[in-house]
Structure 1
Amino acid sequence: MRFPHERRQEILRLLEAQGRVSVGDLSRRLLVSEVTIRKDLAWLAAHGLLIRTHGGAVLADRNPAELAFEFRERLNREEKTRIGRAAATLVQDGDSIALDASTTAMYLARFLRDRRELTVVTNGMRVAMELAGRPGITVLMPGGTVRWEAFSLVGAWGEAILRQVNIQKAFVGAKGLTLEEGLTDVNPEEVRMKRALVEAAKEVIAILDHTKWGRVAFATFCPLERVRLVITDDQAPPDLVEAVRRRGVEVWRV
């Protein structure tokens, strides 16, 4: 039997994938009573994460993947930790890197705290907080407008700054990865900022868990041929992983 927070995370996953859910279907999927499901939906609605409907719920946001950051960071926590740990092995003392505002980038940042002479460019406020004040690490944040959904800074001000810096590696998350569309995301402003990070970097490394494979979001911010490496977890679909490798992109399953 799942704990309440595990059920609610699964409900959010299903909402992210489907856009709406019903009490009956959730009861059957999660093997709990409809009364329990209604309590979970009421709790999630009280926290602004969904809107109750007759017999179910829909997302509270018109962008289906824009769950509140503090809940998204808990989704697939173990997988993101493994991905972050593996990605950190690619960062050496003295590097200049970029991290986007994704939750997986935040997990990566936690494994960089002991680096020396490291420069990190990020538009992620939570990423910056993980590294701020660490000896030997300089954090640079481009200016812009705050997006509370992602705790990120977006806008043309930040893009102008990124055109003036040299970044060796950009580590970016995504809402989706496919062969045709490459890396995609849901918010237009976030897409523009991610594009700027990618354009400023010599190498692009995608950090994303298995739920993002085969999905397409609003717009492409990085074509597949621009990606050098994808770091994902061991539940990533093998057929799509092999197809990406055949395109010349290295894939780590951790």
Structure 2
Amino acid sequence: MAVCGSLLALDEADPDKPSFYFTLQALTIHPGATPIYSAQRRWWPPKRLGENVASQHVLFHHDGETTERSDADMNELEHYKEFSVYHSHGVFWLYPGDASAEQVGDGRDGHGRLPPTNADANSDDDTEEDNPDWAMLNFELLPSRSSYASTNTRQRRLPLRRRHQLWPDQLLPDPHQAEAEAASYTSNPEHGGLNGELPVLLGLMAMALPQQHMFAMLPDCIANPWLVPHLPRGTGWQDKRGVIISVYYDQAETSEGDLRSYEEGQGGSILP
């Protein structure tokens, strides 16, 4: 069920991409969860333990070139990073952990109301660092003139892109798109790519696919270079749909430093 491909002739394979493993799970909201809204009536994902429900995970292995399902013993793999991802009304929400297995932030639903800023949620104690909260997808412009996707970055919108790139439109809803002004666009083919935290990028790719087919379709997208779904824009962006992505590595194949360099685009953008 191949749906991914590239429209750019310059997307050539890089022989030095690292190998890694990752698990994919669907994430849903418990029917008994109390909906949370900010003062601006923006929906916020559940924070209380048990209100986020995960499906059985599927393990994949990316060998630097292709991705396939794997039956590797996960006890022999090293954990790298994990993110839970929700989509709602054009915004991606991220949590750096498994929201189905642990409390998010202060773990309170506020009787359906949330303080006006993310920082206010833990302003009365020192638990914010130990218990991070949900945060919107953000971007930072790297010195290489590529963007870095994470939560601890500076702006909600993509800072830079090229006009004929496919991945920004297929992976990012309008609230995360680059501004229309000329400064947000470049004609330099070496600039305007996307890097970022690996589970975040994998989550964006999974969320661009139909939920019922994402386990079958995603491996075709994680290639060298990564490929973009050729589907109607927004196919996978159902309101309050979620995924959990956990990344692992085999010390015999890859180091943590290799994955960090990959995320930072030191060998070129993950999505050119």
Q: TM-score range by the shorter chain?
A: under 0.3
Q: Is the helix fraction higher in 1 or 2?
A: 1
TM-score by length of 2: 0.26
TM-score by length of 1: 0.27
Task: Tell me which of the two structures has the higher relative contact order, counting C-alpha pairs closer than 8 angstroms and 6 or more residues apart.
Answer: 2
